[in-house]
Amino acid sequence: MVTVCLANHKGGTGKTSICINMGAYFAKKKTKTLIIDMDPQGHVAPGLGIEVGYDDRSIADVLSNQEDITTIIAHSHIKGLDVAPSNIRLSLVNETLYNSFKRERRLRKAMDKIYKDKTYDIVIIDCPPSLGPLVENTLMVVDYCIIPCEPSSRSIDGLADFILKLKDVREGELDSKWNIVMSRVKKSARLTNEVIDEKLSEYKNRIFKTKIYERESINQAQMAGIPVFDFPRGQLASENFTKFGKEVASRCQIK
Ligand SMILES: Nc1ncnc2c1ncn2[C@@H]1O[C@H](COP(=O)(O)OP(=O)(O)O)[C@@H](O)[C@H]1O
Ligand SMILES: [Mg+2]
C-alpha cells in the first residue's frame, strides 16, 4: 500500500479536485483506493456524490479516538473507490489537537488497521489549506507528497514555507518524496506560464511533466458529484487526469 497526499497551505490550488479525479483514475484501473479527507470543509465526499451531515460519522470521530477508521468508510458509486469523509466537526478536533500529547500521531495510529487489513493499494489524503496539526498528521503517514501549485506569483512565493514544513515534520525523511504539480494552468496564458516556469526553475526536477489544465468540466463534474471520467463533457479533462495518473503511478511506484 502506498500513501500519497495532496497538500499546500494555499487554498484553491486544486488539491481536492486532483484527489477526487486521481482516486477515480486509480479505482477505474482496478487499484483499490481509499481517499481520506483531512479538510474540515469536507468537499471530497460530496464531490463523489456522498452527502455527509454535521452529525454523521467522519474522520473527526476517528482523530478524537471515538471511532475506528473502518467504521466511517463509505463506498462511492465507483467500484474500488472508498472515502473516509470529513465534516465541519473536524475543525473542533483540530483546535483540541493543538494542545494534545503526540498530536501529530493520531492519524498514524488510526491507520494501523488499514495497513493490517491490506484492503487498499493506495490511500490518497486530501489536506486542508493550512500548516496546522491536520497537515502534520497527514505528513506523518505519507510515502509521497504532491503539492498542487497554481501559476501565480502568490502561489509560488508560499511554496518555500510548505517545503520547510515538509522537512521539519519528518526530519528530512520526505526530502526525495515530494513533487509539484502545476494545476489550473490556462493554456492561453502563454506569457504567464513562461514567467512561472522561469520562477520555478530551482524546482525543475520536482515538477510533474503533466500539468492539470483549467477546464470548466472539472468544476462542473465536482458540482455534479462525479469524477470527470463520468462527466459527459469531460473527455479532455479525463485525458489530462489519465496522463497525470500514469505519471503518479510511475513516480510513486504504484502498480
Ligand atoms: N483544473 C481546474 N479547472 C477548473 N476548475 C478547477 C480546477 N481545479 C479546481 N477547480 C475549481 O476551483 C475550486 C477550488 O478547487 P479545489 O480543488 O477545491 O482546491 P483546493 O482543494 O486546493 O482548495 C473548485 O470550485 C474547483 O472545482
Ligand atoms: Mg480542498
pLDDT for 158 equals 85
Interhelix angle 89-97/133-141, rounded to 10 degrees, is 80
Pocket test for ligand 1, best of 219, 220, 243, 244 (most atoms within 8 A of CB): 219
Taking only the tens place, the pLDDT of each residue in 167-186 is 999 888 998 999 999 999 99
How high is the mean pLDDT of the chain? 95
Interhelix angle 15-28/235-251, rounded to 10 degrees, is 80
CATH assignment at residue 25: 3.40.50.300
Per-residue confidence band for 153, with pLDDT thresholds at 50, 70 and 90: confident
pLDDT for 79 equals 97
DSSP states of the chain: -EEEEE--SSSSSSHHHHHHHHHHHHHHTT--EEEEE--TT--HHHHTT----TTS--HHHHHTTSS-GGGT-EE-SSTTEEEE---THHHHHHHHHTTSTTGGGHHHHHHHHHHHHT--SEEEEEPPSSSSHHHHHHHHH-SEEEEEE-SSHHHHHHHHHHHHHHHHHTTTTTTTSEEEEE-SB-TT-HHHHHHHHHHTGGGGGGB-SSPPBP-HHHHHHHHHTS-GGGSTT-HHHHHHHHHHHHHHHHHTT--
- Identify which has the larger pLDDT, 239 or 253: 239
Q: Which ligand is nearest to the CA of 222?
A: 1
Task: Please tell me the distance between residue 219's alpha carbon and the centre of ligand 1 in angstroms.
Answer: 6
Residue 166 has pLDDT above 80, yes or no: yes
What's the full length of the chain, in residues? Answer: 255
Q: How many domains does the chain have?
A: 1
Determine the atom of ligand 1 nearest the C-alpha atom of 217. 4
Percent of the chain at pLDDT exceeding 70: 100
Angle at 26 between CA 12 and CA 33, to 5 degrees: 85
pLDDT for 110 equals 95
Taking only the tens place, the pLDDT of each residue in 103-134 is 899 999 999 999 999 999 999 999 999 999 99
pLDDT for 123 equals 98
Distance linking the first and last C-alpha atoms of the chain: 10
Task: Please tell me the distance between residue 152's alpha carbon and the centre of ligand 1 in angstroms.
Answer: 15
Taking only the tens place, the pLDDT of each residue in 60-75 is 999 999 999 999 999 9
- HEC sequence for 236-255: HHHHHHHHHHHHHHHHCCCC
Q: Which residues surround ligand 2, an ion (CB under 5 A)?
A: 15-16
Residues having CB closer than 6 A to ligand 1 are 11-17, 43, 129, 184, 212, 214-215, 218-219, 222
Per-residue confidence band for 100, with pLDDT thresholds at 50, 70 and 90: confident
Determine the atom of ligand 1 nearest the C-alpha atom of 10. 22
Q: Name the grid cell of 255.
A: 502498480
Average confidence (pLDDT) over 222-238? 97
- Give the number of other CB atoms < 10 A from CB of residue 75: 12
CA–CA gap between residue 12 and residue 16 (Å, rounded): 9
Residue nearest to atom 24 of ligand 1 (CA): 219
Q: Which ligand is nearest to the CA of 17?
A: 1
pTM value is 0.97
Determine the atom of ligand 1 nearest the C-alpha atom of 184. 1
Determine the atom of ligand 1 nearest the C-alpha atom of 13. 22
For residue 89, what are the domain limits?
2-251
pLDDT for 232 equals 96
The region of weakest confidence among 7-21, 44-58, 160-174 is 160-174
pLDDT for 253 equals 83
